[in-house]
Each structure stands twice: as structure tokens, then as C-alpha cells.
Amino acid sequence: MQLPEEILRQIFCHIDSHDVDQKFRLSQVCSQWRTVAIGQRLLWNRLRIMTPLDGQRLPLILERSGSAALDVELLWVYRHKEPMLTPEERKLAATQLAGCLKWLRRLFIDIGRAEPKVSSALMAKGLSFPNLEDLEVQSSLSRTQKFDLSLSAPQLQRLVLYEMGKVDWQSLLAKSLTHLSLIQCWNAELTLLDTILQQCPELRALTLRQFPFASEFPGLKIPAVQLVPHLRFLDLRADAVDLSTTLRTGFRGLPLDELTTEMYNGFVDDETKQLISDVLDVQAMESLYSLQSIDDQEIVIRDRTDRAARMKVWNEDGHWSWPDIWEELAAQHGGRHSMKKFRIRSHDWNVLAGAFNACPPLADSIEIHIDLNSDDIIDQYDFEYDDTPVSELEKAEKGLRYMRCSTLRKIVFADHEHWSGNSSCSRVEVVIQLLKAVQTASATVEVCLTDAGLRWDTDSDDELCDTIGNVLMRDERYILCHHCRTVLEDAGLTGMTSFFKLSQTFWI
């Protein structure tokens, strides 16, 4: 019995689109599968060369792809239990692909793991890629690079370069570029920004990351809004002072959806305060709404329109200080009266609680979102090593501070993918412990547990509902949020919701 050809095509869609070996295995199932596979050019035009066998099959793949646009990845990396290509095999593969330049639409190549001459056929000076739209080249500045990247790709839309040496920007920065990412490239300093903005008027996203050391950058000559009016995502890494200069001279008046800045450390000194001010000014974030901690080295600030300012710390030993960040946003940028949403990890509880104790938020209907990433919420030294002493009145228990928020409306708990590796007790125990450490003037506080991962700690729906009830009934202030009620009803647990106190208001 033969499967309909349309069914076979759907089956073929479920393989790794770039895995050469999987394509050949499909084509060898039977004569029908082989006929359908060989006749489907778009099955063969995406390929990843990693092993000697991949390299040997390359001519046949190119033949079967016909005139279809090629999407090629040359990784030159080890695959489990399979040999790597020798330098000669890599060079042969690059040479064969060099004969198909007019068909290449996407090319990803890692030249950091191989001698430059191995890829010279594809990276040779003066080559022209008439239809290339996506180019990504990874290298390593720790390796000697004996060539200049100088090629022509007039249709290029996305360009990503990582730790490249000499690059001919005049030829490579095509007018058609919409996405450009230059990470630690040898001659891609802030001074290159003027060239980028003038040569790439269609840019939508720009990433320029260098080592964040002072360079006394004088600023941009022409504001970006005049050169790249469609730019919506900007990601810059540099010294804090240079970042401020860049933003003030180049990016005011440009309606960015997201701005990312990365500086050396997270000390909230005068330079950092100025950078925060310039970031918020460029983003025109007059009414701050939310503050989120991604990790120790990354925070995200959003306004009511969901426009985002993402600020990172480059130094691995550095981190943001929540109290200092919150104090600056609260005192200097109106955050104390406007910010209504705070998102932290569970082990950041004491840090945010300390920040709120020093400078209480005053906005109405505040939400606190907590990612349950660990049960490590207790300071084992009971704050003995804190710079500012913590009084006993501030402690819910030894090593755990009260979260004081007079206008708290809602607490949302969310599961975290790394929980099982970092914790020895259940999520339920952590949730209960944190809810006991809340102090608020609000008569009721909604609790959202839908995405808290409590199902991982229970064996049945009955046990899940008992668990939720156990969480809520410990304090009459807490009520299950409308979102949780809807989820329970949709899951067919309508009867069980009657055991809980449910919110009667649909909060938006």
C-alpha cells in the first residue's frame, strides 16, 4: 500500500530542514519515497555540512536542489560519534559551493574553528553574491585571520558578524540591509555608526557590541531619525559615558520599540544615572509602568505603551543593585507613583523587599510577579552581612523579609524551567512561605497560580485543588484570580472552584 504523495510531503516537513543525513534516509525507505523526495527540490535546498559523509553528498544535494535558492550552513563542528571533516574536505565543500553563488540566499559559516584558507573559496575578496539575503559569519579574534572580508551582496537583508577581523564596510553594508549585528568585530567601533546609518537606510534592527571601555566618542554627526526612520530595535554595548553621548546625539526622536544598552558594571553612580536618564529620554518613557529582573545582570523597564528599555551588565562579576535602581527610578523619573508591575525571581524576594522598605511604591493596584526558580529564598546569615542593618520588625522569619506594599492587588507565581535542579522542597511550600511574608493595607489580594507549576507537585486534579485551597485558606485576604478560575472551569473542574474564594471582578 502506498501513501498519497501529499501525505509524504507532510511527513518530509517534520525532519530537521538542514540535516543532510535525514533527507537521504527518507529517500531510501522505498522506491515511492525516493521518487517523491528526489522530485521535491525544496527538500534539498537547505543543508548543513558537518561530517565527511555530508561533504561527499554535497554534489548530489546541489544537483537535486536544481535552481532552488540555497540555504547553507557550514559549521565545521563535532557531532556526537561522527568524525569531523578534514581541512581538505572542508576546502572542497567550500569550492563546490563557490560554484553556486548565484543560488545562495542564506549562508552561515563558522571560520573560527578552521584555518582561513579552508573557506577562502567562499570568502575571497571581490566575490559577488547576487541573490544572498542572509549572511552570518562567526570567527574568533584569538585566531589569525589572513584575509579581509570584502564581498558584494546587493540584496543582503540580514548580516551578522562575530569577532571578525578586517572588514570592507563600503562593500558589505548594502542599502538593502534591514538587520545588522556586529559583535566584537575588530574595526566596528561606535565611530562606524555614522557609516552604517548613512549606507543602510532600511535598517529595522541594529546591534553593535564592543568591549565596554571608554573611547571618548564625540557623538553622531547626523541624527538617526533622518537616516534610518524605520529603525525599531537598537542594541549597543560600550562605556556608559559613550553610550549616553551616542543616545543624546543620535537617537532622540526615533520611536524605538526596544532599546538595549550594555555597560561594564552595575554600579549606580553618576554616569549610570545619566545613562538611565538618557535611555528613558530617547524612549520617551514618561510614565514608567514595570520593572523586571531577568537575572543579576539584566533588567527591563517598560512604560504604559509597552515600549522597553533593556539594560545589561557586561562584567561577569558585576550585577545590578535593585535598591539603587528602584530609588533612582522612583525619585528621579516618577516611578514611585506610576510603576504598577514588578517581576523578580523567587530568590530576589529579600532584595525587592528591602528596596520597597527603603522607598515604598505609591501607585494603585500593584502587581508582583515571581518566577519560581529556586527554594533559596532565605538569607542563611540572617542579613548579618548586609550593608544596612535589618531590624527584627522587618523580618517575617529568620532570613526572610516582609514585602511591604500598601496597595498590592495581585501576586502572580510562574514556574521556572530550572526549578528541579536548584530546589529540594516543593513549589507549594515556597509559595506559602512567600505569601506569609506579605504586608499590605489591601483588603484582598488576588493570587494567580495557573502557571506556577503546582501540577508537578500533585498526582491528581483533586490533589491539585486541595493544594490551591491550602495555599489560599491560610489568609483571608487571598483570593484566587479570575484567570485561575477560568482555567479550572475550562479544565472541567468547575465544581471544585466552589471550595475557593474566587475574585468576582475581571481585572484587566
* Residue owning grid cell 563546490: 96
Assess whether pLDDT exceeds 90 at residue 409: yes
pLDDT at 160: 96
Q: How confident is the model at residue 469 (pLDDT cuts 50, 70, 90)?
A: confident
Query: H helices of 349-460, where?
Result: 349-358, 419-422, 427-435
* Residue owning grid cell 531619525: 225
Of 240-244, 279-283, 494-498, the range with the lowest mean pLDDT is 494-498
> Dihedrals φ, ψ of 81, to 5°?
65, 15
Assess whether pLDDT exceeds 80 at residue 196: yes
- The three cell numbers of residue 340 are 504598577
Assess whether pLDDT exceeds 70 at residue 36: yes
Q: How confident is the model at residue 490 (pLDDT cuts 50, 70, 90)?
A: low
Q: What does 483-504 look like in DSSP terms, one character per residue?
A: HHHHHHHHTT-TGGGGGS-B--
pLDDT digits (tens, 9 = 90+) for 134-163: 999 988 655 555 567 888 999 999 999 998
What is the average per-residue pLDDT within 44-68?
Answer: 90
Gap between the Cα atoms of 449 and 472, Å rounded: 10
* CA nearest to 452, candidates 412, 480, 485, 496: 412
Strand partners, 234: 206, 259
Among 105-119, 349-363, 441-455, 475-489, the range of highest mean pLDDT:
349-363
End-to-end CA distance of the chain: 55
CATH architecture of the domain covering 1-44: Up-down Bundle (1.20)
The percentage of the chain sitting over the pLDDT mark of 70, rounded to a whole number, equals 90
Gap between the Cα atoms of 390 and 382, Å rounded: 9
Assess whether pLDDT exceeds 60 at residue 493: no
Among 42-46, 141-145, 391-395, the range of highest mean pLDDT:
391-395
Assess whether pLDDT exceeds 90 at residue 17: no
pLDDT digits (tens, 9 = 90+) for 269-328: 999 999 999 999 999 998 999 999 999 999 999 999 999 999 999 998 889 988 899 999
Angle at 430 between CA 424 and CA 436, to 5 degrees: 150
- Which amino acid appears at position 75 of this protein? L
pLDDT at 197: 97
- Which amino acid appears at position 355 of this protein? A
pLDDT at 140: 67
Q: How confident is the model at residue 495 (pLDDT cuts 50, 70, 90)?
A: very low
pLDDT at 504: 40
Domain ranges for the chain, please list them: 1-44, 200-339, 340-508
Assess whether pLDDT exceeds 70 at residue 444: yes
pLDDT digits (tens, 9 = 90+) for 324-376: 999 999 999 999 999 999 999 999 999 999 999 999 999 999 999 999 988 88
pLDDT at 500: 47
Gap between the Cα atoms of 267 and 262, Å rounded: 13
Round the average pLDDT of the chain to a whole number and report it.
87
Assess whether pLDDT exceeds 70 at residue 501: no
Assess whether pLDDT exceeds 80 at residue 128: yes
What string of H, E and C letters represents the secondary structure of 62-120?
A: HHHHCCCCEEEEECCCCECCECCCCHHHHHHHHHHHHCCHHHEEEEEEECCCCCHHHHH
Q: How confident is the model at residue 475 (pLDDT cuts 50, 70, 90)?
A: confident
What is the average per-residue pLDDT within 444-466?
Answer: 81
Assess whether pLDDT exceeds 90 at residue 130: yes
What is the average per-residue pLDDT within 237-255?
Answer: 94
DSSP 186: T
- Which amino acid appears at position 222 of this protein? I
